């Protein structure tokens, strides 16, 4: 009986952890896809946040540490100097003006390179960080860990629009 109980707890814990991981991963993809489509639209970052929030099921937003919108290099690495960081403060998550705290915004959407020419197109990335807390607290499932997922895509809004 103890072995079956341990097996059941393990399946449940790993199942919920995998579900959280896949949900955060897909939400990052939805956000970056929205950002690539909107390009230099002045409210592109707010729309990216809305796309992420629209994808997340209930309860996920409260565990979200932050949403980062950044410029990536050709290898997919995040440029920490050109990263916009958003934190949820509470209230209506779709109201970007009042219920989100923009910690930094060194990479405004209007400055992004989206038109082919002498400059290469920018690569936009969306990074989501969320805390997953184990349900049972039964060893070895104690405490919490951070899910950190990113997705990148080259900005080509003129191709889609």
E-strand ranges in the chain read 64-72, 78-88, 100-104, 123-133, 144-154
Its domain, for residue 139, covers 2-160
Residue 151 bridge partners (DSSP): 126
What's the chain's Rg over C-alpha atoms? 18
- Cα 7 to Cα 1: distance, rounded to the nearest angstrom: 10
pLDDT for residue 32: 97
pLDDT for residue 82: 95
Overall domain count for the chain: 1
> 98-136: per-residue pLDDT in tens?
889 988 889 999 999 887 666 788 999 999 999 999 999
- pTM exceeding 0.85: yes
């Amino acid at each position: 009986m103890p072995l079956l109980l341990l097996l059941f707890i393990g399946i449940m814990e790993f199942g919920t952890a995998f579900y959280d991981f896949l949900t955060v991963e897909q939400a990052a993809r939805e956000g970056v896809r929205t950002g690539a489509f909107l390009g230099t639209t002045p409210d592109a970052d707010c729309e990216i946040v809305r796309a992420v929030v629209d994808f997340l099921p209930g309860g996920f937003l409260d565990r979200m540490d932050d949403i980062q919108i950044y410029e990536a290099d050709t290898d997919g690495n995040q440029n920490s100097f050109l990263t916009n960081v958003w934190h949820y403060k509470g209230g209506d998550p779709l109201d970007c003006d009042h219920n989100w705290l923009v910690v930094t915004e060194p990479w405004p959407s209007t400055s992004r390179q989206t038109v082919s020419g002498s400059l290469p197109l920018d690569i936009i990335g969306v990074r989501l960080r969320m805390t997953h807390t184990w349900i049972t607290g039964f060893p070895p499932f104690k405490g919490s860990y951070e899910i950190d997922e990113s997705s990148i895509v080259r900005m080509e809004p003129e191709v889609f629009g």
